[in-house]
């Protein structure tokens, strides 16, 4: 169990980081807001929430960690998880790869050699993952996804925000284009509108940064929610998901992210970032201003600093950091 001193140290550091990353943008390359999604979310520019959940159940939260926002691309992680469970590794791999594309999330590019989208963290691959989720009709597929998402978050009240879904369904030309192309190439089956409904419903599920940190902790905990003890995903698939997050989770900045920050993570254009450090903890961040890749500007900044102070980079020696890895549960 995390002791009181460790808990207080992390809380103080999170508060310090939130303050440090709230101002001073534009001073480092890439630290500038270039857009908000949707643009009217600029009115939420001031929001900045940060939360952590240790796999032993200890939680931290700072700032606007209880404000709800849609998952958007963060949903791709959990939808891929259910696709893996429903179809197994080999069939899922046949339909969607695990290679970083280096292209923006909504690019119209495919792995021509293997006849599939590059990975499930870009829209093309996420649409195939949604296609792989089983169910009698689109409502049943959404209900199955929602049920899993609730288990990851430990909140039985998670919902699809119908206004956000409706807005996405009417401004969806690019995803429609990608879908029709994939169907013509034999990469996608069935009704395209239904599949988009499933994918966009998952994008429209709203969470808080605090819940996002629990979802990350569930992945870090081998697929079992550390607060409720409920299983959200078969253990054997967590490794697949976390690997793909590491290589492809931060859009076309994934390489730089893994190089500099080194934490498996997934971002969404609503300004959320979820991170999962295996056998350690989950992190949830919310701040709506986006950089040119579509990643939260403050979210990236805070994760970079957190990684440096606490030695979180998965490929680095934690002893090089200021504090090292505090509050890391012992593996039994």
Binding to ligand GLN by CB under 6 A, coded x per residue (else -) over 6-45, reads: ----------------------------------------
Whether 96 contacts 128, CB under 8 Å: yes
Secondary-structure percent of the chain, ordered helix, strand, coil, rounded to 5: 50, 10, 40
- Which residue blocks in the chain are alpha helix, DSSP H? 4-20, 75-95, 123-132, 138-153, 162-170, 173-184, 192-203, 209-220, 235-248, 254-260, 297-310
Angle at alpha carbon of residue 197, lines to 196 and 198, rounded to 5°: 90
Specify whether the CB–CB gap between 106 and 178 falls below 8 A.
Answer: yes
Rg (CA), the chain: 19
Q: How far apart are CA 273 and CA 295, in angstroms?
A: 8
Q: Does 131 bind ligand GLN (CB under 6 A)?
A: no
CB of 251 to ligand GLN, least distance (A): 7
Nearer to ligand GLN among residue 226 and residue 271 (C-beta): 271
Indicate whether 225 belongs to the interface with ligand GLN (CB under 6 A): no
Map the footprint of ligand GLN across residues 259-278, applying CB under 6 A.
Answer: 268-269
Q: How far is the CB of 269 from ligand GLN (least distance, A)?
A: 4
Q: Which of residues 70-89 bind ligand GLN (CB under 6 A)?
A: 72-73
| 221 vs 266 by CB, closer to ligand GLN | 266
Q: Are 290 and 271 in contact (CB under 8 A)?
A: yes
Min CB(167)–ligand GLN separation in Å: 10
Residue with nearest beta carbon to ligand GLN: 73
Which string of x and - marks every residue 49-68 that binds ligand GLN (by CB under 6 A)?
--------------------
Show Cβ contacts of residue 213 under 8 Å, excluding neighbours closer than 6 positions. 51, 52, 53, 59, 61, 274, 281, 282, 283, 284
Among 125, 249, 294, 311, binds ligand GLN (CB under 6 A): 294
| Residue placing its CB nearer to ligand GLN in the complex, 17 or 165 | 165
Nearer Cβ to ligand GLN, position 78 or 105? 105
Q: Between residues 44 and 313, which has the closer beta carbon with respect to ligand GLN?
A: 44
- DSSP label of 262: -
Q: Among candidates 290, 229, 221, which has minimal Cα distance to 36?
A: 290
162 Cβ neighbours under 8 A, 6+ residues apart: 204
- Smallest gap from Cβ 34 to ligand GLN, in A, equals 14
One of 62, 203, 209, 301 touching ligand GLN (CB under 6 A): 203
Of the residues 13, 53, 168, 208, which one makes contact with ligand GLN according to CB under 6 A: 168
| Number of alpha helices (DSSP H) and beta strands (DSSP E) in the chain | 11, 7
d(C-alpha 117, C-alpha 120), whole Å: 8
Told to check if 105 binds ligand GLN by CB under 6 A, we report yes
# residues near ligand GLN by CB under 6 A: 11
Can you give the binding site for ligand GLN, defined by CB under 6 A?
72-73, 105-106, 123, 168, 175, 203, 268-269, 294
């Amino acid at each position: 169990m995390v002791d009181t001193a460790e808990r207080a140290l992390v809380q103080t550091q999170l508060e310090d980081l939130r303050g440090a990353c709230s101002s001073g943008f534009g001073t480092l390359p890439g630290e500038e807001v270039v857009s908000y999604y949707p643009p009217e979310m600029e009115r939420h520019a001031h929001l900045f929430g940060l939360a952590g959940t240790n796999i032993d159940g200890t939680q931290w939260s700072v700032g606007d960690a209880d404000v709800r926002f849609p998952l958007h691309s963060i949903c791709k992680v959990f939808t891929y998880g259910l696709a893996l469970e429903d179809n197994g590794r080999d069939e899922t791999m046949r339909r969607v790869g695990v290679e970083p594309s280096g292209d923006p999330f909504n690019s119209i590019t495919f792995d021509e050699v293997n006849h599939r989208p590059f990975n499930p963290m870009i829209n093309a691959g996420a649409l195939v993952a949604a296609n792989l989720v089983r169910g009698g009709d689109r409502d049943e597929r959404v209900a199955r996804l929602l049920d899993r998402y609730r288990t990851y978050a430990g909140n039985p009240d998670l919902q699809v925000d119908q206004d956000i879904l409706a807005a996405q369904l009417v401004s969806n030309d690019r995803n429609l284009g990608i879908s029709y192309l994939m169907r013509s190439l034999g990469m996608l089956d069935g009704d395209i509108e239904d599949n988009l409904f499933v994918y966009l419903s998952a994008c429209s599920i709203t969470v808080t940064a605090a819940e996002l940190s629990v979802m990350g902790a569930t992945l870090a905990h081998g697929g079992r929610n550390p607060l409720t003890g409920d299983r959200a995903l078969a253990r054997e698939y967590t490794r697949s998901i976390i690997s793909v997050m590491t290589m492809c989770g931060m859009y076309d900045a994934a390489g730089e992210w893994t190089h500099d920050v080194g934490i498996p993570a997934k971002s969404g254009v609503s300004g959320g970032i979820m991170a999962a450090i295996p056998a350690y903890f989950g992190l949830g961040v919310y701040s709506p201003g986006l950089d040119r890749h579509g990643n939260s500007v403050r979210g990236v900044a805070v994760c970079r600093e957190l990684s440096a102070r606490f030695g979180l980079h998965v490929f680095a020696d934690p002893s090089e950091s200021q504090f090292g890895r505090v509050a890391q549960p012992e593996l039994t």
